[in-house]
Every structure is written in C-alpha cells, then in structure tokens.
Amino acid sequence: MVDAPAPLRIALAGLGTVGAGVIRLIEANAALIARRAGRPLEVTVVGARDRGKDRGIDLTRYAWEDDMVIMGERADVDVVVEMVGGSDGPALACARTTIEAGKALVTANKAMIAHHGLELAGKAEQAKVALKFEAAVAGGIPVIKGLREGAAANEIERVYGILNGTCNYILSTMEDTGRDFADVLAEAQAKGYAEADPAFDIEGIDAAHKLSILAAIAFGGRLDFAAVETSGITRLRAADIAQADALGYVIRLIGMADTMDGTDGKCLFQRVQPHLVPFNHPLAHVDGATNAVVAEGNFSGRLLFQGAGAGDGPTASAVVADLIDIARGEIGAPFSVPVSELEAMAAADAGSRRGRSYVRLLAADRPGVLAEITAAFRDAGVSIESLIQKGRSDDDAVMVALVTHEGPESAVTHAVRLLSGSSSLTEAPLVMHILGD
C-alpha cells in the first residue's frame, strides 16, 4: 500500500484581507488543490499583530505564533507566506530568517522584493529553496509566471502596462464623470479603493515597485528600483481628461520598461508616468481597478495579461498558485536566471527616446503669452502638431494644450526648461508622452 504524500505545511505571517483569503481558498478548494499539487496544502501556523481581531474565519485549529519573524524556524513549517508588508522591518526579517532556515518563502510584498529581491533570491539559491512572489505584481494575474515560463523562449522587447488599480479607478472615473482628481480620490478612499494615505499609489511608487520586478524578469537585468523615473497622477485635471478624449486618447498611468543600446552595452529604461493611450489600443479599454500588462516578445508578438490587480480572492489565488508549485517541488531561479547571471544595466538616457508628447500649460490671460510658448518650442526644435487654447479656468488661468510631432524627448524637455520661471505661466508645464503602437 502506497503511503499518502505528506502535506505541505504552511505558516501565514499576516492575517489581513489576503491572509484570510488564502485560508478560505485552501479550505474551499482543498480536494482540487491536492490533486493538482500532488499533495495536500495544510495551514499549520498563523500569526499577526492583533490576535484578538475578528477576521471572519475560525483560527482555533491553527497554532498561533506571536513572533512572526521566527515562523520559518519551526519544525512544523515547510513554507512561510509573508503578508506583513513593508520593504523592511518585520517582513524582511521574517523573509531572511525563513530562507536561512532552509524553508521556502512566498510573498505578496512588492516593496520588499523591489528593494531586497536580489539579496533574498541569492539566499534562496544558496539554500536551494523556493522564493515565489507572483502575488507581488498585478494581484491575481499570472504575469510573472507568464514571463518566466510561458514566454521563456522569447527575447522580450518591451513590457508595459497599468500596474496600479487605485490610479486606474481614479482616471477612468474622471473620464466617465468629468469630475476632478481630488473629488474622485475622496470617493475612492470612501469605497476602499484608495488608502487613507494614498501617496504610494497616486505618486506612482507602487507601480514603480512592480515595474522594476517585471523588468528584471523580462530582460534578465539586476533589480534597479532606484532608476525608475516616477511621476504620478496628482497634477491631472478634468480638463486634461476632456482634452485627451477630444484628441482620441484616454489617460492611463503606464509603467514601461525596455532596453536600449548604450556606449557600454545595453541600458535599461524604466518609467512610470501618465500617458495618452489611443482609443484603439488594448490598454485604453482597461477600466476601474483592473490591471493589465503587455509583453512584446520577438517570436510571440504582443501578449496581454489582464485581470483584477488586488483584492482578497485574486491575490490569494496567486499566493496559492505559488504554494502549489512548491508542493510539486518546483524551485527555479526567482528572476528566471541565477542572480550571478543577471546583467547590471546602466539607466538609459530617456532624452534620446523618440515619440510624440502632450504638453499642458496654464498661462496668464494676456497678450503675447501664446507667442512666448510657441517661441520656446521653436527654439528647442520641437515641431507642434496641434495647439488648442481654452478659456479661463476657475483660477483665471488659460489652458494651452499642445501635441508635438515625433521627435526626441530631450527637445520637449528643453522647451519646458526655456519656459521655466516664466511669469506668464501659473504653474509648471505638465508633459505626458503618447503611447505608440
């Protein structure tokens, strides 16, 4: 008689929305998961900051560990799922201790991976244990697995997408209702789509964390979060949304990464910034809190991954998918290739990139202002495709929106620099690039 396979024994560090979702998913689909994993998944230990909090699930069947950092050292644990959050502190200590104890680690913590992923991956490779983080990027969308496995035979030429559901909800709601940013942000906070302190989301930092992870996997480069050029959506106005619509675009916060040839080899370009997206592009139709990632392979062509980027169900689904891989004995290099083989790429010079741009200026309503603006773009060598001047806004400024012909980004930057400090402008120009095909 063949003995039943031993279960994969799991410790959950953190019992927030996702942690509780992991328990519910494992319980609800236990038989299905066991068949697909080849062995049962069994939660044995849990821990969180507040033991007495009502989470809507029965925790009495599990051992409780007050010190989540040492979970991986317990004899009744094979893998720790870290959902504490934060790039440092208890989350990082838990991750290090777990791997050093020879146990596998699953995490949904994009900040920790973006800042310390190379260190943790190196430790995991040395200890010959799995480090999995599918849930750290785009929630329930299997984009990491798609890049690391499904598109493994391809040279990825570009990866980009909508990586933050909060920003996408705000932008698509502004688009649908004509309301301004602050009003829609307050609504998003009331509905739970935005945190009480939404800075990481609306300033683009959350998307930058995710982009740096995707770029490392897609291009085989070393993680370089510090090199991500990041700007958020806080300066956008309803008038920008309306103007983009009139021109045939929607505005989306896009994280984009690709490689460029430099003097000393390949350079890595990484940027998070609001873009004008043409109506006919797949990302233009991604609304609400949805995430979507596009990867362009040299043989596969354009691949689109789309789905819920957050929430207990989708994120728990990604966590448990990683646990199933571990139960099957699948380890693999966390970033597709061993850390020692990841290429150190210099940050690319964005100024040499070519494309079209949208520039919005708020200017005083007086003679000669339009001539001053157009002269700056002329002197910078920027060809203007279209220019629209709107009437006064609530703050008595005139909105001037222009779209450039294709040219180097450095020229647009130079034009903006020429206008810097001009008494004719009531605030700094807003530049958004137009997403190409």
pLDDT tens-digit profile of 269-290? 999 999 999 999 999 999 988 9
- CB within 8 Å of 125: residues ≥ 6 apart: 333, 334, 338, 339
Using only the alpha carbons of the chain, give its radius of gyration: 24
- Amino acid 8 reads L
Per-residue pLDDT at 2: 58
Architecture of domain 352-434: 2-Layer Sandwich (3.30)
Query: Which has more pLDDT, 308 or 414?
Result: 414
Q: List, for residues 365-424, the tens digit of each pLDDT value.
A: 888 899 999 999 999 999 999 998 876 655 678 899 999 999 999 999 999 999 988 888
Q: Say whether 143-308 and 8-136 share the same fold.
A: no
The catalytic residue among 103, 123, 210, 390 is 210
Q: List, for residues 107-120, the tens digit of each pLDDT value.
A: 999 999 999 999 99
CB 248 within 8 A of CB 185: no
110 is catalytic: no
- Please report, for the chain, the start and end positions of each structural domain, with discontinuous segments joined by +: 8-136, 143-308, 352-434
143-308 homologous superfamily: Dihydrodipicolinate Reductase; domain 2 (3.30.360.10)
Class of 8-136 per CATH?
alpha beta
Reported as a pLDDT band with limits 50, 70 and 90, residue 49 is confident
